[in-house]
Structures are given as C-alpha cells and as structure tokens.
Amino acid sequence: MKSYLAAALQMNSRPDLEKNLTQAEELVDLAVRRGAEVVALPENFSFLGEEADKLANLEAIATASEKFLRKMAHRFQITVLGGGFPIPVGDGKVANVAMLVDPHGGEVRYEKVHLFDVNLPDGNTYRESETVRAGTALPPVYASEELGTLGISVCYDVRFPELYRHLSKKGAEVLFIPAAFTAHTGKDHWQVLLQARAIENTCYAIAPAQTGLHYGRRYTHGHAAIIDPWGVVLSDAGTEVGLAIAEISPDRIYQVRRQMPSLEHRIFG
C-alpha cells in the first residue's frame, strides 16, 4: 500500500438525473485536478427525490449510474465509489447499491443491509423499507496492492458497529461511509459516529455526503469528511457543495495500530 490522496464528494442531488450527473462529473474532475486517486460519491448521488419519481425513472437511474461510474474510473484512471443508487429487484422494490469501480474494470458491489425506518423529532418520517429490499450479505472489501484494503458500507450502516468489525476482520484499512444523512440527526450524530468507526477499527473513514435542501422537507447535513485511524478529522467539506480531500497514509495506519493495538486485544469476535 502506498500513500495517496482520497476525496469524499459533497453533493446537493435533486430529482434530476442529468443535472446530478453533471454536478458529480464536475466534482470528480475537481478532485482529480487536486490529485485524488480515489474518489467517493455520496448515497443517492444520481437521484434524490420522491420515491414515486424514483420508481418511475428506475431503469434510467440504474443504467446511467453504472455507466457514469465506469466512465469516471476509465476517463480519469481512478478508483471511484458510487455511494448508493437504486437497482430494480422485482416486486416493485429496489436494492440500494454501492458500487466501486477501479481503472482496470474491476467492480465490487454491496446492497445496503440496514434500512432507514425512523420517526424523527423534527416531524419527518422515513420508511426506506417501503421501496427498498434490504441486502442479505455482509459487505465486501476491495483489496489493492496500491490502495490497501477498502471496506464498503452505506449511510445508516454507520450506526451498526458489528458491520465495521466484520470489515476490519477482513483486513480493511479504509472504510467508505457514503451517506445522505438527515440534517436533524447529522448535527448530533454524524461526526461522532464516523470518528467512532475509525477509532475502534483503527481505519481511515472516507465519508462523502449530501447537503442542503433536495425536495420538499428533505434536508441533509453535509460535512463530508475524511478521518484518520486516531479519529482526527483531516478534512471537512462544511455545508457547501464541494469535497473533502486528504492523504491516506499506510505509515499512519501502522503507527496507530502499534500504539493502540486494540484489534489484537479482541476477546469476543
């Protein structure tokens, strides 16, 4: 594994597939011009709108999202993660799929397991399970001699530490945590959860995010971030469209794991 720059993109996706992909491409281009070799896009990067609109345009969203990720990886010769987009699975439901593509055409997919069914104090109710079929498989890792071992998750997964323990046991050194975190929960929980997952697994966390108003009353928190294995926030995108970018260093991983070898001290699991 070498040292390299990674970027976590921060988007304001809307119910407009074409405009979202244009915004995403501009941000990928910006990240690459700043030296990033790994670029991660947030959950719902290609479409963020009412569920009925998403289902009505499902085939177009799924096809365009996959094509876009492959195009970015090939055009810029980078490894790119699309943090979540809908794929039809039948019975009127979709899978929320994160897809990693490398510049050589390699691909890894993960179907989001934990679905966001909550009633928030701000009056918003979310029922992801009404249209999304939960994945049934543990998330994969992507192993690369140059980039290290990368673990994949999506948004609400961040509240379930056992998923990240699985990834660290599989050798993960970097955790992708793409999200469309709500503004209400994000202000209290987003950063602390990211830091917890990084610290307890002595991994980097790369967390692209959605930000701002998307439609109706749907606001997201922003603050795409990259966090080191000690829990230090290396880069935070704030609340504007843009990106967080930072170095991923194997020396830092090894240093923290020597100083705090907690993965070696596990008793249960």
Positions marked catalytic = 43, 112, 155
**Residues 103 and 144: beta-carbon distance below 8 Å:** no
Compute how many other C-beta atoms are within 10 angstroms of the C-beta atom of residue 114.
17
- Looking at the DSSP assignment, which residues form a beta bridge with residue 242? 10
Query: What is the C-alpha end-to-end distance of the chain, expressed in Å?
Result: 26
Contacts of 199 (CB under 8 A, 6+ apart): 229, 230, 231
Which helix (H) or strand (E) element contains residue 181? none
**C-alpha span between 27 and 179 (Å, rounded):** 16
Structure letter (DSSP) for residue 137: S
Residue 201's Cα: distance from chain center in Å? Answer: 17
Does an H or E element contain 93, and which? Answer: strand 93-101
Specify whether the CB–CB gap between 98 and 65 falls below 8 A.
no
Helix, strand and coil in the chain, % to nearest 5: 35, 35, 35
The SS3 assignment for 97 reads strand
d(CA 139, CA 220): 25
Token couple for 32: 């690459």
